[in-house]
Amino acid sequence: MSMSEHYNSEVWTEKYRPKKFNEVVGQEEILKRVKALVNSFNIPHLLFAGPAGTGKSTLALIVVKELFGVSWRDNYLELNASDERGIDVVRQKVKDFARTRALGDVPFKVIFLDEADALTREAQQALRRTMENYTSTCRFILSCNYSSKILDPIQSRTVVFRFQLLEKKDIKRRIDLISEMEGLTISADAFDALYEASEGDCRRAINLLQATASISPNVTPDLINTIVSKARPRDVRVVLDYALSGDFISSKEKLLDIMLKDSISGSDIIKAIQKEIWNLNIDNTLKVKLTEKTGEIEFRLVEGSDEFIQLESLIAGFVLAGEGKILDDGEVRSIGGAKVSGGY
Amino acid sequence: MISENIPWSEKYRPKNFAEIKGQDAAVSKVKLFLHAFPKKKSIIFHGTPGVGKTTLAYATALEKDAEILELNASDFRDKKKISEIIGPAISQKSLFKSNKIILVDEVDGISARRDRGGLSELVGLIEKSAYPIIITANDIWDKKFSILRKKAEIVALKDIDYRTVVSVLQDIAKKEAMIISVDVLTSIAVRTKGDLRAALNDLQMYSKLESIDAFGDMGERNREQTIFQALQYVFKNSKIDQSMIKVYDEVNMSVDQIFLWIEENIPLEYKGEELAKAYDALSMADVFRGRIYRKQHWRFMIYQYFLLGSGIAAAKNGVKGGFTSYKKPSRILKIWLNNQRTAKKKSICQKYSKLCHISLKQAMRDFMLIKIILNNSKIREELKLNDDEITYLDK
């Protein structure tokens, strides 16, 4: 096996993570430019922007392995902005890491800060100063989904690479390789189902393949669909169905249950509800009213302090809709909400 | 007689490292610190109240056979005072013991602005001191401590697991010859949320009560009566008047708690249109609460209380008769219990996210899929999952 340099993981996203430039699929332009930078043994700060599962972390890892060879672990720090408790923690870790000099020929170390767009504006300001303070000893590779969420002063200090969603043929190359190595058979239909469910996210595609293969090495569309439905978060539909049937208590209990067990935030729930309204078996004019109410509650959720109270208020509106009526605009607003949207 | 009035949290305070429960990781960090001293002069214990920060400090002193010199935040009002107290101590020999440990308790209380100089004085002392300095704090990640953090070893004390709390309570109940069911002990442990001191206080109070009924809510009973009355007034009264804005004045609870009580009990009184109107009022009250928190716009409290009183009252279509037995809010407890149950999920996701270069949050979101992949003994071994985690996956 080509990738058995040292220790190999049994988790396929790791086992088959490309370890050299020539193993990467897609992103040809980016590869060319990054390779040129690495060959000069000096890189600027980099910003990798793009959707999940398109190779940002993979490329960052390849960069450090190419730069530092076997000693890459000593010269590389990986942090995830969405998990760290505030910028102070990030700074402390960066500081501890940057204190010692890089080993080997390369005069700097590399810090990979994943999901940098999770940092607030203030935190990004602080990050900018940190990047400047350690610029002689450290290079930063930042990754994010949307570069628009990264402050301009940071963008201007980095070289920005925009990762595209992988094409179907690129994901197919990867899946075919893994299937061959693991002795799986996967039909064209099955691959189509897998690609559909992955939404172009290569990590998700590989995870789905491994989960499916854990049941049978003969991967069929049915099997993939079974896994997909098993792995889907619990549905908000049942919350709405209880409400429309007039059972407020069951509806709110189910709601709390979903939020807690699947670790879903109120704002994600309300997005799912908004999408589900048009699938409900109710009059179209009611759907319009309910969507309007959902919009109002989504706004209040941002302004208010308790997400659950806001959602309860929304499902109480669905209970009314189930009785064939819903508060008309005048009445909803008469309870003091007249200028809600004027708050900003 | 006197001994009966000692708080049990004092009476049963662990004396040495071996007696400290539920903080194994912290204890071993302290041992390393003592061993390496004076590589770092100072060590910070941080964690929520009642998890054992001060206890650990005293146990550390015992371990070193040292005398403790304790300082409170209030001693740090100014530079002069602090040098007067500590200055001589860091050079003098102790009268009785050869070793000394300086304990600066509850350092959160030092204000960065008001007690100007206090924090920098402390930092200066750390550099000069010949003895270890232990600092305790609730939140050490506050900005004002950034310099202090660099000078000290940082040890986090976790909230104590409720099962550990139950076993400690059981031990003490036995020593006090109390007869008490595990259910009651568990409910004490759950309610006190990892604060062992609060749990011991509750247990001691319980020991003084005649019957379990009276225990139900200790101290909360009074408060419950006042909220019952307020809820009754709002839910049953047909006429809405100006005095409704004051209906919660007599209630001896925080406004957050009042929100929870109303939220829990609306469905007991209202149905259909009334229900929707009442939750709409509650939702608007919450919007004002959010604005008060975020913008410190205290004037909005008028609208918040107006909506909680008249807003909820105006939702009804007519007079409500009869007696309603209002329920205690249950949501917070449900959230807490869920966090206990999902602690294993979180620790599994932590290990997985490290291996796979993704965030913990992402792993939590993808858990249903990851769970299937983890149904593989080699991967479980690779992630070093412990027995508890494996049981959680297989259940």
The pLDDT tens digits of the residues spanning A72-97 come to 988 999 999 888 766 777 788 888 88
Structure tokens belonging to residue B287: 């919007």
Query: Judged by CB atoms within 8 Å, which residues 310-369 of B form the interface with A?
Result: 311, 314-315, 331, 334-335, 338, 342, 352-353, 355-362, 364-369
The per-residue pLDDT for B274 is: 94
Does any domain span residue B226?
Answer: yes
The Cα–Cα gap between A181 and A175 comes to 10
B357, A316: Cβ pair inside 8 Å? no
Does any domain span residue B123?
Answer: yes
Q: Of B181, B200, B215, which residue constitutes the final position of a domain?
A: B215
Query: Judged by CB atoms within 8 Å, which residues 40-79 of A form the interface with B?
Result: 52, 57, 61, 78
CB contacts of B352 in chain A (<8 Å) are: 11
The Cα–Cα gap between B303 and B276 comes to 19
CB contacts of B347 in chain A (<8 Å) are: none
Please check whether residue B206 touches A, CB under 8 A. Answer: no
The per-residue pLDDT for B89 is: 65
Q: Which residue of B has its CA nearest to A265?
A: B365
Express each pLDDT in A4-28 by its tens digit.
444 689 999 999 999 999 999 989 9
Q: Of B106, B129, B156, which residue constitutes the final position of a domain?
A: B156
Per DSSP, helices labelled H in chain A are 12-15, 28-39, 56-68, 86-98, 121-133, 152-156, 168-182, 188-198, 202-213, 221-231, 237-244, 248-261, 266-276, 284-303, 307-322, 329-334
The Cα–Cα gap between A75 and A110 comes to 6
The Cα–Cα gap between A138 and A293 comes to 51
To which H or E segment does residue B220 belong? helix B220-236
Q: What is the CATH number of the domain that holds B36?
A: 3.40.50.300
Q: Which of B283, B303, B361 sits opposite A300 (nearest CB)?
A: B283
Does any domain span residue B74?
Answer: yes
Answering whether pTM is above 0.90, one says: no
CB contacts of B353 in chain A (<8 Å) are: 80, 83
Show the domains of chain A with their CATH numbers: 27-162 (3.40.50.300), 168-231 (1.10.8.60), 237-343 (1.20.272.10)
The Cα–Cα gap between B169 and B188 comes to 9
Q: Of B119, B135, B156, which residue constitutes the final position of a domain?
A: B156
| Residue closest to A38 by CA, chosen among A78, A74, A5, A68 | A68
Q: Which of B146, B284, B286 sits opposite A306 (nearest CB)?
A: B286
The per-residue pLDDT for B86 is: 67
Does any domain span residue B240?
Answer: yes
- Using alpha carbons, list the distances in angstroms from residue B39 to A68, A288, B103, B125: 32, 68, 18, 15
- CA-atom Rg of chain A in angstroms: 25
To which H or E segment does residue B306 belong? helix B301-306
To which H or E segment does residue B168 belong? helix B162-175
Rounded percentage of chain A residues whose pLDDT exceeds 90: 57
Q: Which of B303, B367, B373 sits opposite A211 (nearest CB)?
A: B373
B353, A80: Cβ pair inside 8 Å? yes
| CA-based torsion, B105, B109, B110, B114: positive or negative | negative
Strand partners, A161: A48
Does any domain span residue B15?
Answer: no
A327, B372: Cβ pair inside 8 Å? no
The per-residue pLDDT for A325 is: 65
Measured in angstroms, the CA of B261 and the nearest CA of chain A are apart by 12
Q: Which of A145-149, A173-177, A221-225, A312-316 has the lowest mean pLDDT?
A: A145-149
The Cα–Cα gap between A209 and A203 comes to 10
Backbone angles phi, psi at A175, to 5 degrees: -65, -40
- Using alpha carbons, list the distances in angstroms from residue A34 to A27, A51, B205: 11, 19, 68
Does any domain span residue B247?
Answer: yes
From its phi and psi, is residue A289 left (phi > 0), alpha (psi between -120 and 50) or beta?
alpha
Express each pLDDT in B253-289 by its tens digit.
888 989 999 999 999 999 999 999 999 999 999 999 9
Do B166 and B98 share a domain, yes or no?
no
User: Is the peptide bond between A44 and the residue preceding it cis, with omega within 30 degrees of 0?
Assistant: no
Reply yes or no on whether the pLDDT at A333 is more than 50. no
| Residue closest to B125 by CA, chosen among B81, B157, B67, B156 | B81
Do B261 and B278 share a domain, yes or no?
yes
Do B134 and B227 share a domain, yes or no?
no
B359, A232: Cβ pair inside 8 Å? no
CB contacts of A325 in chain B (<8 Å) are: 273
Contact (Cβ atoms closer than 8 angstroms) between residue A114 and residue A80? yes
- Averaged pLDDT of chain A: 86
Contact (Cβ atoms closer than 8 angstroms) between residue B131 and residue B43? no
Do B302 and B226 share a domain, yes or no?
yes
Higher pLDDT, A132 or A58: A58
- DSSP tag of B195: -
Do B80 and B93 share a domain, yes or no?
yes
Q: Which of A230, A252, A337 sits opposite B368 (nearest CB)?
A: A230
- Cβ-Cβ contacts under 8 Å between A and B: the total is 168
Place of tokens 């396929």: A12
Do B192 and B229 share a domain, yes or no?
no
Do B280 and B241 share a domain, yes or no?
yes
Does any domain span residue B108?
Answer: yes
Res. A218 pLDDT band, cuts 50 70 90: very high
Do B185 and B275 share a domain, yes or no?
no
SS3 label, residue B64:
coil
Q: Which residue of B has its CA nearest to A300?
A: B287
Place of tokens 């789905």: A208
The per-residue pLDDT for A336 is: 37
Do B73 and B105 share a domain, yes or no?
yes
Could you tell me the residue range of the domain that residue B382 belongs to? Answer: 342-394
Measured in angstroms, the CA of B304 and the nearest CA of chain A are apart by 10
The Cα–Cα gap between B102 and B66 comes to 10
Please check whether residue B395 touches A, CB under 8 A. Answer: no
Q: Which of B146, B280, B359 sits opposite A313 (nearest CB)?
A: B280
Residue B209: other Cβ atoms inside 10 A:
12
Please check whether residue B293 touches A, CB under 8 A. Answer: yes
CB contacts of B145 in chain A (<8 Å) are: none
Q: How many domains in chain B? A: 4
Do B196 and B312 share a domain, yes or no?
no
Query: Judged by CB atoms within 8 Å, which residues 182-221 of A form the interface with B?
Result: 203-204, 207-208, 210-211, 214
Please check whether residue A338 touches B, CB under 8 A. Answer: no
Does any domain span residue B186?
Answer: yes
| Residue closest to A199 by CA, chosen among A20, A68, A51, A1 | A51
> For chain B, which ranges sit under pLDDT 70?
1-5, 72-83, 85-98, 109, 111-117, 208-223
The per-residue pLDDT for B115 is: 60
Do B29 and B107 share a domain, yes or no?
yes
**Which residues fall within 8 angstroms of residue B249, CB to CB, at 6 or more apart?**
none
Query: Judged by CB atoms within 8 Å, which residues 96-155 of B form the interface with A?
Result: 141, 143, 146, 149
Do B146 and B167 share a domain, yes or no?
no
